[in-house]
Structure 1
Amino acid sequence: MTTNALARQPLDPDQLHAIDAWWRAANYLSVGQIYLRANPLLHEPLKLEHVKRMQLGHWGTTPGQNFIYAHLNRVIRQHDLDMFYISGPGHGGPAVVANAYLDGTYSEVYPEIGQDEAGLQRLFKQFSFPGGIPSHASPECPGSLHEGGELGYSLSHAFGAVFDNPELIAACVVGDGEAETGPLATAWHSNKFLDPVGDGAVLPILHLNGYKIANPTVLARISREELEQLLRGYGWTPYFVQGSDPQLMHQAMAATLDAVVAQIRQIRDDARLRGVATRPRWPMIVLDSPKGWTGPKVVDGKPNEGTFRAHQVPISVSESSPPEHLHQLEAWLRSYRPQELFDQHGRLKAELIALAPVGTRRMSANPHTNGGLLLQDLCMPDYRDHAVDVPQPGVSGIGDTRVLGPFLREVIRLNAQQRNFRVFGPDETVSNGLAAVFEATNRQWQAATAPNDEFLAPQGRVLEMLSEHQCEGWLEGYLLTGRHGLFNCYEAFIHIVDSMFNQHAKWLKMTAAIPWRRPLASLNYLLASHVWRQDHNGFTHQDPGFIDHVVNKKAEIVRVYLPPDANCLLSVMDHCLRSRHYVNVVIAGKHPAPQWLAMDAAQRHCSQGIGIWPWASSDEHGEPDVVMACAGDVPTLETLAAVSILRRYLPELKLRVVNVVDLMKLQSPSEHPHGLEDDDFDQLFTRDKPVIFAFHGYPTLIHRLTYRRTNHDNLHVHGYKEEGTITTAFDMTVLNALDRFHLVIDVINRVPQLGEQAAHLKQRLQDKLLQHKQYIDENGQDLPEIRHWMWNAPDAGTLG
């Protein structure tokens, strides 16, 4: 659908002049940010000393974003909309800063950057300058919702923001380069999950300006017919605004936005007032404008505006550049006629100030862009009500996440009225053992349904799409706008969002240091179907490396928890859902597994994060001969099975069992706020005794976390060694030397005083490993003594 500006001209001459003036002012401020350090209003001829020594920034997308922002301001005022702005091509940072300054929010947040000439000079100089602000949309800019340095997540963030925000409209500018990324290309399908009754609306604005850094964009080089068919195929109603003449484009954009707002209201009224249940075709806009619009047409004899050359800094100005570059920059700046826009003191003229929405209707001041302002605590059930009865260590369990499921079900029920908690996952909520949540809610789904579908409804607290990118992006948008959530995923495939996690962790780190930003609910990952129980799916599903990736981020942001059983998982998850401004990674199993701690003991253990298990140890009357440490549910099982063998066959050996729930306890407090003091660490692990550490992930991570500790040289870590296949559950541990037999052999090798008395035991263990291999190859399952092993059984620890 193309808006014909000649047929519909909704702007009267005064409105047209005012919007164009705002646009020129935003463009002027944008160019000033990239280039100027002095003479911000050009009260004197431009000189080299007025120009930054290094010019950084991205001009190409900026004028189009300024154009969009100016027109959104008009419809917000005219229709009293609750709307905010997401800059998908966030490298166009000058645009979001310029508009936040023009509408006054920037100076309110940063009073030193006032609405005068001195404030303008500070605004210009700080941009991409040491001690200043980044060149991308960033946490420092009011109104920014996410870091703009990486492309692809704008649309999924927009949808996450409007879930459960029925009056909110997220105006999401999608760059045509960004549209080539996998996450963005998939995000168009988010409209199949948006409930027009209980959710807000997303207005995508595809900014079709033709080029990336050095190449044309795909969507700009296909026919209009093909592009329209593509967008309609995604389920949208596209409106096209195309051209370069400012006067015609202003009228076309105004008419289009009026039509789009009317269509959004019609969809809402149909659903909310008239009960229309069919999935709507939401409107979107395609803005086809030149890259670097209003910038230099030609630089050094080569076309600039409308080409890839306009992407970053169109003109280089320095002592070594041609003198005409300085004159061309001055002519470019003066083409916006700043004397018509700002008074003699540098303040935006009153008639232009009046264009901006007021108060929190300003997109740069919308409280949803500083979600901590809106954040309310979850109503939490008592997790102890869901405790597993553990009369003695080692009782059988149904699967730790299957115990967690009813707890999450109650979280959903208790927050049903507030509508501020959701579970996100890539079609894995049932598979990961959380099916109990569907006793309280459904999967939200707006597309067609069939009789055999389960738990699909127009409204629900669970959002599932087989795209980790979308689940992550939706959840981030939900959290960034002041709500709570949980992302459950297979451990091996959470790597798909490594880069998205990076950006969110960086956002949390930066916003924690910005006084006017308020803390957000934590980003919580529950990783189930983990490496040690992916025996049936094989090598492709076996990768615990997300932990390594996470611990690279700032210590004040990241937390990693490895609860050994269901009661510990309940305690940990209760803590994570209550926490603020962290990324919490929780790894837990879904398969039947032994339960070790009663709830009171689990609560104490998780509060400490690490501790000795006296009931499994045999060193209570002296220093241990060896420390058996473990982190993770399967490593804990194999460690205790190894301990049972050692206690049966080497009863004089003094053993200490140390279990780690909070992985960051292993670091020193100088490296992580949860870290143990050296004296406390030494008391647990000794200063000179061998430590056999069974770890859920890659062994090198434990060495990395503990390399400064006194006894590090005696630390011997067993973990995942990138060995796997389709096999049995126990054989997965054998392949990686994490099994009980390898652990006992390592103890024999590391404890010098055992000597010859352990030689026969070591031989029996090696024979047992051969027996195991022969048995599984013939029977397709583990040895009975493995499958039926129990800690407290009379024959626990026997080798058959």
Structure 2
Amino acid sequence: MAAQCIDQPNPPPDPSQLPDSMLDYRVQTGTGYVISASELDSVRKFRRAANYIAAAMIFLKDNVLLERQLTFDDVKPRLLGHWGTCPGLVLVYAHLNRIVKKTDLDALLVVGPGHGAPAILSCLWLENSLAPFWQPYTRDRAGLTRLITKFSAPGGFPSHINAETPGCIHEGGELGYALSVAFGAVMDNPQLVVACVVGDGEAETGPTATAWHGFKYIDPAESGAVLPIVHVNGFKISERTIYGCMDDKELIALFSGYGYQVRIVDDLGSIDQDLATSMEWALGEISRIQHSARSGSPIIKPRWPVLILRTPKGWSGPKELHGEFIEGSFRSHQVPLPEAKTSEEELQMLQAWLSSYHPEELFTIGSGEGAVDGAPVTDLLKIIPDNKEKRLGTRKEAYAAFQPLDVPDWMPFGIERGLEASCMKTIGNFLREVIKENPSTFRIFSPDELVSNKLDAVFDVTGRNFQWDVTSSARGGRIIEILSEHTCQGMIQGYTLTGRTALFPTYEAFLGIVHTMMVQYSKFTKMARETDWRHDVGSVNYLETSTWARQEHNGFSHQNPSFIGAVLNLKATLARVYLPPDANCFLSTMAHCLKAKNYINLMVGSKQPTSVWLSPEEADRHCVAGASVWKFASVDDGIDPDVVLVGIGTEVTFEVIAAAALLRKHLPALRVRVINVTDLMILGPHGSHPHALSDEDFDTLFTKDRHVIINYHGYPIEVKGLLFGRPGVDRMSIEGYREEGTTTSPFDMMLCNHVSRYHVAAAAVRAGALFNQKVSIEAHEKASFIMHLAQKDREYIQRDGRDPDGTFDTPVFEDAMKEQKK
């Protein structure tokens, strides 16, 4: 008995049992509904047709209009799809269509349960939003047959909503991000309402839990609104959901605490009247909040609407099978009749299920008297907006809204060569101008670290947009700071995919929190680029700072450069990783990334003052090339070297330069070439990445046969992976972050990870001795002496608790400087 109880739907409590104070949260039944009889008839027929198509998409490979009895040959050989969420999604879609037609609303739909693709695709076909993008999916028998038979099959739509789905800006394959994406989409889109369906399974995720606060970062004077619709159907793949086990009072208390006005929609007998009235109420509340803000009298802490929609899992599908509940239980989550291809019983149940929608009443059979064979009947089309651009599947915000940034010239922000400057402070000054030039198409999303990362110059021209703070509300603001990397990432996705550009600066160690979100987004971008109808979008731009190399004060927990590797694993056409060595190179890189389209850009840099090695003009040429010989630090401009030293990253490049100076002092006979790599992707074999050097250019830069000592900011295996496939990689040694660190001094971090000047110099002596007899005679002695210096510095740090004086003074190459002055 207990098991059967678990499987049964959880009915909502009687409204009469709710306290009087909570009755206002519910739509009253009986009278006062806003939907007309004609609209109601059209909505119901639309729902029946969409549910029929959705179910047929999972099962049928033939006989798509059920014009004869089903046979096993009509059933697909492999049954894929998720039925359980579809009826609820169809219900929401039908009512959004109705209200868009009635009010001329500008609306997008973001669907959290991305596996409910059959529901969305069926609705898109009914409103004729597939054929404009995918010509074979015409609104007739041929298009319907293709939609049903090719779903989840080679050559057709996949089982999840993705970038190939018109109107989609969120895939939903990895649950938790729909709500934050929706909030990002409405920012700086003041006329737009995004209806966001959040499944009760998705509602259990950490990202969704924080995203409920997203409306507190929406200024109704400058942005649109999100209408969250929490679809509570009680079950996920094989278990009850948390929200499904919460009664109305608990849900009302939860969402009231978040700051929402709550409406519960659950009267199955009058569900269409209930939902129509609730949607109009919600839009009325949104309009009231926006009107107040836009007329100069903003509501303090406005309470935005949220709808709690309760429907049974798999509603309208099979009720029971083998004595176990299907509708209203987890068994309807995916394929309710898994043996329909081989079981006569299940085949007959499928026949009965599909017949219950009466497809003969919903689709035209034959083409007489101007009718289109297989097309939906006129009655169910009455709720579809007449204006094709207003339909949920054809909104340009979802596929053709890109607004390029007006990126100012970065050269005037450049720093004189030879000085010291913080890359982040310099970038902050530049971003201040970017915001001034782009007051409604650029935002910065940061997990509460903008000042810590020394980007606070932006506050000269803008503020933080936090509407529940009395000092920030009703003031707009280009900066969103929330201590949730997930929410920042989701908002950036929504903001970017609807045409704008954003920056995500954060501590290096914690960007990995959104690793899988970034990967999911990259997959969406890849598929979008493979369509011929999705337009360009701005790049998603990550700015890693507070890196492990200067996180010695926070300790080991704050040292993690692994996000670089996550980006390197992406499709080469999407991935870009930059490690600019100084402030001027960072300016050039930032300007480039803000202009770039369709990429995942990762920039890694330091917030501490560091040497400016290149003039603005030199930095620009260096960044265009991706790597270059730094003649000032090389012997004889790097001609005919015995060894090549390479720096990739700000602090580790400083150590390479310091090593070159050390070698000039203690071993002047060693001929050294110093190279900096700022674009990590040039290292891969030719053809592996659009930026990868040709073999000839690679050999010209790194030589054909000399040993190459690489000092890298991240994990050495990343560079090893890039270089794999290049000839002669056995002559290259790579040092980087070794997972060694604690609360110590900056230079001790270099020492304990073997990227200090001493480690570089000693390796250079040993490698160069193989090609220079003068060096080989004293190589062991010099290398031992250099490492002795390292030990002395380590002892000093342990004894005095600080780095030796002059450790980070910029090395001066007097002979090279004299030659340059000449």
TM value normalised by structure 2: 0.93
2:59 aligns to what?
A: 35
**Cα separation, 2, equivalents of 1:664 and 1:499:** 21
1:323 aligns to what?
A: 344
**Cα separation, 2, equivalents of 1:400 and 1:250:** 57
Asked whether the 8 Å contact 2:219–2:474 carries over to 1, the reply is: no
How far did 1:776 drift? 1.4
Change (3 A) 1:77 1:319: closer
**Cα separation, 1, equivalents of 2:656 and 2:600:** 29
Change (3 A) 1:116 1:794: closer
How far did 1:794 drift? 9.9
1:398 aligns to what?
A: 421
Deviations 1:260-299 (A, max 9, x none): 1111111111221251241210001000110000010012
Change (3 A) 1:468 1:634: same
**Cα separation, 2, equivalents of 1:619 and 1:692:** 19
1:363 aligns to 2:392 (yes or no): yes
1:683 aligns to 2:700 (yes or no): yes
1:292 aligns to what?
A: 314
Deviations 1:518-546 (A, max 9, x none): 11000001111111011100101101111
How far did 1:457 drift? 6.1
2:445 aligns to what?
A: 424
**Cα separation, 1, equivalents of 2:638 and 2:393:** 65
1:107 aligns to what?
A: 131
Q: Report the secondary structure of 2:278's partner residue.
A: helix
Matched AA of 1:731: D
User: After the TM superposition, which of the residue ranges 338-347 and 770-779 deviates more from structure 2?
Assistant: 770-779
Q: Report the secondary structure of 1:628's partner residue.
A: strand
1:304 aligns to 2:326 (yes or no): yes
Asked whether the 8 Å contact 1:423–1:487 carries over to 2, the reply is: yes
How far did 1:49 drift? 1.3
Q: Report the secondary structure of 1:365's partner residue.
A: coil
2:433 aligns to what?
A: 410
Change (3 A) 1:157 1:319: closer
**Cα separation, 1, equivalents of 2:299 and 2:518:** 36
1:389 aligns to 2:389 (yes or no): no
**Cα separation, 2, equivalents of 1:318 and 1:459:** 56
1:334 aligns to what?
A: 355
**Cα separation, 2, equivalents of 1:351 and 1:16:** 11
Change (3 A) 1:298 1:744: same
**Cα separation, 1, equivalents of 2:138 and 2:533:** 17
How far did 1:26 drift? 0.7
**Cα separation, 1, equivalents of 2:212 and 2:329:** 27
How far did 1:147 drift? 1.4
Change (3 A) 1:488 1:561: same
2:618 aligns to what?
A: 601
User: After the TM superposition, which of the residue ranges 749-758 and 583-592 deviates more from structure 2?
Assistant: 749-758
CA RMSD, aligned part only? 1.6
Amino-acid identity (%): 42
How far did 1:651 drift? 1.1
Change (3 A) 1:785 1:759: farther
**Cα separation, 2, equivalents of 1:582 and 1:766:** 43
Matched AA of 1:448: D
2:580 aligns to what?
A: 563
- Which aligned pairs between 1:52-451 and structure 2 lie closer than 5 A? 52-245=76-269, 248-273=270-295, 275-320=297-342, 322-344=343-365, 345-357=373-385, 358-370=387-399, 373-390=400-417, 395-416=418-439, 419-449=440-470
**Cα separation, 1, equivalents of 2:453 and 2:740:** 23
- Which aligned pairs between 1:602-681 and structure 2 lie closer than 5 A? 602-620=619-637, 622-681=639-698
**Cα separation, 2, equivalents of 1:107 and 1:368:** 18
Matched AA of 2:112: G
Count of aligned residue pairs for this structure pair: 781
Matched AA of 1:289: T
**Cα separation, 2, equivalents of 1:560 and 1:457:** 37
Asked whether the 8 Å contact 2:541–2:601 carries over to 1, the reply is: yes
**Cα separation, 2, equivalents of 1:586 and 1:284:** 38
Matched AA of 2:195: A
- Which aligned pairs between 1:786-797 and structure 2 lie closer than 5 A? 786-792=807-813
Asked whether the 8 Å contact 2:632–2:813 carries over to 1, the reply is: no
Asked whether the 8 Å contact 1:531–1:543 carries over to 2, the reply is: yes
Asked whether the 8 Å contact 2:509–2:547 carries over to 1, the reply is: yes
Asked whether the 8 Å contact 1:291–1:305 carries over to 2, the reply is: yes
Asked whether the 8 Å contact 1:60–1:291 carries over to 2, the reply is: yes
**Cα separation, 2, equivalents of 1:458 and 1:56:** 49
**Cα separation, 1, equivalents of 2:753 and 2:395:** 52
User: After the TM superposition, which of the residue ranges 253-262 and 204-213 deviates more from structure 2?
Assistant: 253-262
Asked whether the 8 Å contact 2:485–2:513 carries over to 1, the reply is: yes
Consecutive unaligned residues in structure 2, runs of 5 or more: 1-24, 366-372, 818-822
1:760 aligns to 2:781 (yes or no): yes
Matched AA of 1:12: S
Change (3 A) 1:622 1:275: closer
How far did 1:764 drift? 2.5
Matched AA of 1:410: E
Matched AA of 1:279: K
Q: Report the secondary structure of 1:38's partner residue.
A: coil
Asked whether the 8 Å contact 1:531–1:541 carries over to 2, the reply is: yes
**Cα separation, 2, equivalents of 1:624 and 1:456:** 61
Change (3 A) 1:19 1:285: same
Change (3 A) 1:256 1:457: closer
**Cα separation, 1, equivalents of 2:641 and 2:486:** 48
User: After the TM superposition, which of the residue ranges 269-278 and 50-59 deviates more from structure 2?
Assistant: 269-278
Consecutive unaligned residues in structure 1, runs of 5 or more: none
Change (3 A) 1:84 1:584: same
Deviations 1:158-203 (A, max 9, x none): 0000001111000000000000001101000111111111110000
**Cα separation, 1, equivalents of 2:638 and 2:489:** 50
Deviations 1:189-225 (A, max 9, x none): 1111111111100000000000110110001112221
How far did 1:255 drift? 1.3
2:19 aligns to what?
A: none
1:732 aligns to what?
A: 749
2:21 aligns to what?
A: none
How far did 1:318 drift? 4.7
Q: Report the secondary structure of 1:497's partner residue.
A: helix
Deviations 1:537-572 (A, max 9, x none): 010110111111111110000100010001100001
Change (3 A) 1:52 1:439: same
Matched AA of 2:320: V
Deviations 1:17-70 (A, max 9, x none): 111000011101101111111111111211111111001001011100000110
Q: Report the secondary structure of 1:239's partner residue.
A: strand
Asked whether the 8 Å contact 1:669–1:676 carries over to 2, the reply is: yes
How far did 1:770 drift? 2.1
Q: Report the secondary structure of 1:710's partner residue.
A: coil
Deviations 1:393-412 (A, max 9, x none): xx232311111111100000
Matched AA of 1:352: L
**Cα separation, 2, equivalents of 1:69 and 1:526:** 38
Q: Report the secondary structure of 1:171's partner residue.
A: strand
Change (3 A) 1:153 1:112: same
How far did 1:458 drift? 3.2
Asked whether the 8 Å contact 2:766–2:783 carries over to 1, the reply is: no
**Cα separation, 2, equivalents of 1:631 and 1:414:** 32
How far did 1:758 drift? 2.9
2:479 aligns to what?
A: 462
How far did 1:311 drift? 0.3
Asked whether the 8 Å contact 2:576–2:602 carries over to 1, the reply is: yes
1:778 aligns to 2:807 (yes or no): no
Q: 2:710 aligns with which of 675, 678, 693?
A: 693
**Cα separation, 1, equivalents of 2:642 and 2:811:** 25
